[in-house]
């Protein structure tokens, strides 16, 4: 059997728990074999990665920090990292997130292979006027962004929304961007046997962007007519104390906070849910929901969705078919849609079945990874169609 061509994947932090879309692509490739390099481990909890397929520029300590600084500021690749990368003989480098693309440029250039960069969300949407005061890495990215647009052979966006933002706000050449939506494992996320009537599920980071305060208000409005309605919140974040206080005032014991949970527990919660709701909002700095993996996971579990028509969400949820999307900030409409599901189990179940079929036909992980591999082949001149 011939060895598969190798791809070197760069991600600055390997690998935050929220970045399942990166690992789904990286370890889900069939025609290519992926290896990972990054500056350092991501913040815990992290996704477990095969140690024989990754290397860290900064494994810790003062020497590790010096290696990271030299790499990020001056493009100096540590000798052991360079020898490992060169020994792999990769056919291309694929960097995830725009900022990481600028860091991976010297590596791809020295290897003499094409560079592909994926934009995923805030790296494309955040407005420039909000970024100069942010962390050093983002300022370096802005200084190198034009060069990245010229140097990268192709860019990947998970939605048309992200593509449009990468062009408008990051100056990325439109003709270089390919839209390849994320995919999920539809065998792993499947409908459960007994969804619980009235159980409204939220899964997301507890920050303003995710709109939990809107959902708490919407649920409080339907509680007098539907006392069975209860909100379950999975996730953690800096605003947790605020949301817990708000939920206590508005919902009392009808709201439960479970904190951050492993993927197996998230799947169980999806399967028990009657409705999934995450009314993400647009932020003044340009942040918005770029895609929303949790919407796919809920729909794959046969759970209809309620959210706002913001960012890339309308590309993931089919309004009136797999769920309902209200205008941004319209809590009354959000509440009305929740009420519709509780009043009409037949509508809820029909949309749940439609959601499952929607994800199976459009967002299956194997299908989407094949599209990415087609792009790899095209970039490497091995045929295929992007």
The alpha carbon of residue 386 and the mean position of all alpha carbons in its chain are separated, in whole angstroms, by: 21
Task: Out of 12-21, 25-34, 124-133, 203-212, pick the least confident.
Answer: 124-133
Supply φ then ψ for residue 128, to 5 degrees: -60, -40
Q: List CB contacts of 223: < 8 A, sequence separation 6 or more.
A: 229, 251, 254
Name the fold adopted by 6-183+364-382: Rossmann fold (3.40.50)
- Confirm whether 6-183+364-382 and 199-362 share one CATH topology: yes
Q: Which tokens hold the place of 190?
A: 């499947």
Q: Which tokens hold the place of 160?
A: 């048309």
| Residue 17 pLDDT grade (very low, low, confident, very high; cuts 50, 70, 90) | confident
Q: Which helix (H) or strand (E) holds 231?
A: strand 230-234
What is the pLDDT, as a whole number, of residue 349?
A: 97
| Residue 41 pLDDT grade (very low, low, confident, very high; cuts 50, 70, 90) | very high
Concatenating the DSSP letter of every residue in 233-246 gives EE---TTHHHHHHH
**Burial code of 3-34, b = ≥16 C-beta within 10 A, e = fewer?**
eebebbbbbbbbbbeebbbbbbbbbbbeebeb
Where do the domains of the chain lie? 6-183+364-382, 199-362
**DSSP state, 3?**
P
Q: Which helix (H) or strand (E) holds 60?
A: none
In whole angstroms, give the CA distance from residue 263 to residue 252. Answer: 27
| Residue 45 pLDDT grade (very low, low, confident, very high; cuts 50, 70, 90) | confident
Whether the CB-CB separation of 358 and 297 falls below 8 Å is answered with no
List the alpha helices (DSSP H) in 273-313. Answer: 293-300
What is the pLDDT, as a whole number, of residue 255?
A: 98
| Residue 386 pLDDT grade (very low, low, confident, very high; cuts 50, 70, 90) | very low
Going 257 to 262 to 267 to 268, the CA torsion angle's sign is negative
pLDDT of residue 320 exceeding 60? yes
> 10 Å Cβ neighbour count for 173?
12
Task: Out of 59-68, 127-136, 145-154, pick the least confident.
Answer: 127-136
Average pLDDT rounded to a whole number, residues 249-270: 95
Q: List CB contacts of 330: < 8 A, sequence separation 6 or more.
A: 308
Name the fold adopted by 199-362: Rossmann fold (3.40.50)
Q: Which helix (H) or strand (E) holds 115?
A: strand 115-118
What is the pLDDT, as a whole number, of residue 44?
A: 82
pLDDT of residue 384 exceeding 60? no
What is the pLDDT, as a whole number, of residue 263?
A: 87
Encode pLDDT of 172-198 as tens digits: 999 999 999 999 999 999 999 889 999
What is the pLDDT, as a whole number, of residue 178?
A: 98
Whether the CB-CB separation of 323 and 274 falls below 8 Å is answered with no
Encode pLDDT of 359-381 as tens digits: 999 999 999 999 999 999 999 98
Concatenating the DSSP letter of every residue in 153-173 gives SEEEESSHHHHHHHHHHH---
Whether the CB-CB separation of 11 and 40 falls below 8 Å is answered with no
Neighbouring C-alpha atoms within 13 Å toward the C-beta of 208: 6
* Residue pointed to by tokens 């962004």: 145
């Amino acid at each position: 059997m011939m060895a598969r061509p190798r791809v070197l994947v760069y991600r600055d932090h390997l690998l935050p728990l929220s970045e399942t879309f990166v690992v789904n692509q990286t370890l889900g490739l069939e025609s290519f074999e992926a290896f990972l390099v990054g500056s350092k481990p991501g913040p815990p909890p992290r996704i477990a990665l095969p140690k024989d397929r990754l290397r860290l520029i900064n494994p810790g300590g003062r020497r590790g920090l010096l290696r990271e600084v030299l790499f990020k500021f001056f493009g100096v690749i540590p000798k052991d990292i360079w020898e490992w990368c060169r020994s792999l003989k990769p056919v291309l480098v694929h960097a995830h997130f725009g900022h990481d693309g600028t860091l991976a440029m010297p590596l791809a250039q020295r290897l003499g292979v094409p560079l592909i960069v994926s934009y995923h969300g805030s790296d494309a949407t955040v407005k420039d006027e909000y970024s100069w005061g942010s962390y050093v890495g983002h300022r370096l990215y802005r200084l190198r962004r034009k060069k990245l647009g010229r140097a990268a052979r192709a860019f990947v966006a998970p939605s048309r929304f992200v593509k449009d933002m990468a062009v408008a706000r990051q100056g990325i050449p439109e003709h270089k961007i390919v839209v390849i939506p994320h995919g999920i494992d539809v065998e792993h996320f499947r409908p459960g046997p007994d969804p619980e009537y009235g159980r409204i599920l939220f899964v997301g980071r507890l920050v303003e962007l995710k709109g939990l305060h809107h959902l708490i208000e919407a649920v409080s409005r339907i509680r007098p007519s539907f006392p069975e309605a209860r909100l379950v919140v999975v996730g953690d974040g800096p605003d947790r104390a605020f949301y817990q206080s708000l939920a206590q005032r508005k919902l009392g014991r009808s709201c439960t906070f479970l904190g951050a949970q492993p993927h197996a527990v998230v799947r169980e919660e999806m399967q028990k849910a009657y409705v999934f709701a995450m009314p993400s909002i647009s932020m003044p700095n340009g942040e918005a929901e770029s895609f929303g993996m949790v919407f796919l996971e809920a729909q794959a579990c046969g759970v209809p969705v309620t959210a706002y028509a913001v960012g890339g969400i309308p590309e993931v949820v089919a309004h009136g078919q797999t769920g309902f999307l209200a205008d941004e900030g319209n809590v009354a409409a959000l509440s009305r849609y929740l009420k519709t599901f509780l009043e009409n189990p037949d509508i809820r179940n029909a949309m749940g079945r439609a959601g499952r079929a929607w994800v199976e036909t459009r967002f299956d992980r194997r299908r989407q990874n094949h599209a990415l591999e087609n792009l790899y082949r095209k970039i490497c001149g091995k045929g295929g169609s992007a």
